[in-house]
Amino acid sequence: MTDNNTTTPEAKPLDFIRQIIADDLRSGKHHKIVTRFPPEPNGFLHIGHAKSICLNFGAALENNGFCHMRFDDTNPSKEESAYVESIKRDVQWLGFGWGENLFYASDYFDQLYAFALQLINLGKAYVCDLSAEEIRSHRGTLTEPGIESPYRNRTTEENLALFQGMKNGEFSEGSRVLRARIDMFSPNLNMRDPVIYRILKVAHHRTGDKWCIYPMYDYTHCLSDAIEGITHSLCTLEFEDHRPLYDWCLDTLKTPCHPRQIEFARLNLTYTVMSKRKILQMVQGNYVEGWDDPRMLTISGIRRRGYPASAIRKFCADIGIGKKESWIDMSVLENAVRDDMNNNAPRVMAVLNPLKVIIDNYPEGQNEELTAQNHPQKPEMGTRTIPFSREIFIEREDFLEDPPKKFFRLGPDREVRLRYGYFIRCVSVDKDPITGEIIAIHCTYDPQTRGGSAPDGRKVKGTIHWVSVPHAVSCQVRLYDRLFLTENPDADKSVDFKEHLNPESLTILDNCMLEPSLAKTLPGEYFQFERNGYFCADLINSQPGAPVFNRTVTLKDSWVKIEKS
């Protein structure tokens, strides 16, 4: 990638979270801001996480604070260190760093256990022998209160002994849990004696076999925040109802630090699914090539597709941070990518569907070098030379045997300009005698028109791109379309979201022709293929000198909405 600088914040009003931070600094409530990004290492990160990363790391950076990288690794049955590594790579690729501040919730298992003993001693936690099913049915609903567990009034001694027994592996999985003793009549279901520890006889990717009880997310999260001295704990709106529990844990345990949880609206994007669980289903069912399939909006997928990190940061800055759920159209993301690449991508010529043109009056065996600009608006990006010869490839769709009037490209006896080259006029067509397919066209060129204009002042309307046949580098190009056919594949819960997959989301073109300057392309380098879009050399399938290109994005917005089915 060419650019990993963080975007400079634009002079626009602060979002409500940055406003709270600014107020807290001004009032002296805090002198140093500490935020955290707390992924669970149970899958790869997606574009939704990028919003949270840009907010947490961004707000800390802007205020000279710190953002901790914390793995929320409390569920060993779904977590792996491979996910930890991919998450680190993704955050760094987005342009952020955590310095020394790399943490794992599992680092706090001893402290969390000690806090649990403290809760028991305060009469604020008890061991419950109800089954998961019974706990659920006792919990009540939004309109009905819960039912107190028959184990709720166990003595402190009994609770301490049983909890230690749980820790020592004396009981089977699911037979007992530790619950906070709060209020079964609370209007907030999260406060109805939530489970805070469960037995799981599963090895953990960091603590190995040391533990067979694991703390639950809500209990772990607030305490990890407090242990690390987080000032602002930023999370998505679905945690709003969990905030009373967050505060209850910290108040009850009288932690010296009490971070403030603030919720913001998650990113929802059309034509995609964004839950790790659903992405995992697509990976495991081989609906896509893997977590980093360029059609997916995982960070590793968009990196491979060629989206620049700077475009993602710009996108996150543009959509802003709010309190109301909303949907962002995929075209907004694509426009951010297009703008960024338009600024930075060198222009080159590549023919995706080649048709051979023989220039009858150009001497056989002759070559010449034409000069081409690397970026029309940026002369500082320099020029390069492109070889021209008697045989060239043009785009098959740039020739029509029977063109309509408004078709300004090639047709019989029509003249067109070759980008950076000459005018050519079509004089005849070679067809396959059996199939009738056009296999080549013959043209003549006007030697007076080198550079693109005719001394006699005659005009041509069309300019087409081309590649010299003997100099062309053949390669594979992958074109991507939306992965789903509906705006919200998740909307109808009675239909599996995978039913909405677009069977034509990937087109592989095996015989594309590149101008020779692209022979040296390195994986990850990107270009504008003139008239065809922005393309990036695939990070996995490209070899130095043998690129495979992904179309990152088209030149114009092609996300015309399809009718909702």
Binding region for ligand ATP (CB under 6 A) out of 99-107, 268-276, 424-432, 555-563: 268-276
User: By CB under 6 A, which span of 34-42, 121-129, 137-145, 417-425 interacts with ligand ATP?
Assistant: 34-42
Which residue among 89, 266, 419, 450 is the active-site one?
Answer: 266
Find out whether 381 and 346 touch, Cβ atoms under 8 Å: yes
In the numeric block, which tokens belong to residue 413?
A: 């006896």
* Token code pair at residue 282: 């697509």
The closest of 420, 378, 309 to 300, measured between CA atoms, is: 309
* Binding of residue 52 to ligand ATP (CB under 6 A): yes
**Known active-site residue 192:** no
Q: Does 54 bind ligand ATP (CB under 6 A)?
A: no
Q: Residue 304 catalytic?
A: no
Task: List CB contacts of 308: < 8 A, sequence separation 6 or more.
Answer: 1, 2, 3, 337, 340, 341, 344, 526
Q: Point out which span in 36-44, 309-317, 335-343, 507-515 binds ligand ATP (CB under 6 A).
A: 36-44
Q: How far is the CB of 485 from ligand ATP (least distance, A)?
A: 21
Q: How many residues bind ligand ATP (CB under 6 A)?
A: 15
Site string for ligand ATP, 211-240 (x = CB under 6 A): ------------------------xx----
Q: Which amino acid is at 266?
A: R
Question: Does 449 contact ligand ATP by CB under 6 A?
Answer: no
What does the alpha-carbon distance between residue 253 and residue 119 come to, in Å, rounded to a whole number? Answer: 7
Residue 346, interface with ligand ATP (CB under 6 A)? no
181 contacts ligand ATP (rule: CB under 6 A) = no
Among 44, 48, 340, 480, binds ligand ATP (CB under 6 A): 48
To ligand ATP, the closest distance from the beta carbon of 150 in angstroms equals: 34
The reply on whether position 39 binds ligand ATP by CB under 6 A is yes
Could you give the C-alpha distances from 49 to 60, 205, 297, 490, in angstroms and in order? 16, 22, 10, 18
User: Residue 327 burial by CB count (10 A; 0-12/13-18/19+): exposed, middle or buried?
Assistant: exposed
Determine the Cα–Cα distance for residues 248 and 261; give it in Å rounded to an integer: 12
CB of 267 to ligand ATP, least distance (A): 4
**Minimum CB separation from ligand ATP for residue 51, in Å?**
4
8 Å CB contact between 527 and 555 = no
Q: How far, in Å, CA of 327 to CA of 444, rounded?
A: 54
For 514-523, letters b (16+ CB in 10 Å) and e give: bbbbbeebeb
563 is an active site residue: no
Grouping H, G, I as helix, E, B as strand and the rest as coil, residue 347 is strand
Q: How far is the CB of 268 from ligand ATP (least distance, A)?
A: 7
Pairing of strands 391-395, 415-418: unpaired
Residue 274 engages ligand ATP in binding (rule: CB under 6 A): yes
Using Cβ positions, the residue closest to ligand ATP within the complex turns out to be 48
- Given the residues 51, 179, 206, 276, the one annotated as active site: 276
95 binds ligand ATP (CB under 6 A): no
Under DSSP, the state recorded for 429 is: E
Residue 299, CA atoms < 13 Å, CB-side half-sphere? 26
- State in angstroms the smallest separation of the CB of 53 from ligand ATP: 8
Catalytic residues: 40, 266, 276
Q: Interface with ligand ATP by CB under 6 A: which residues?
A: 38-40, 48-49, 51-52, 235-236, 266-267, 274-277
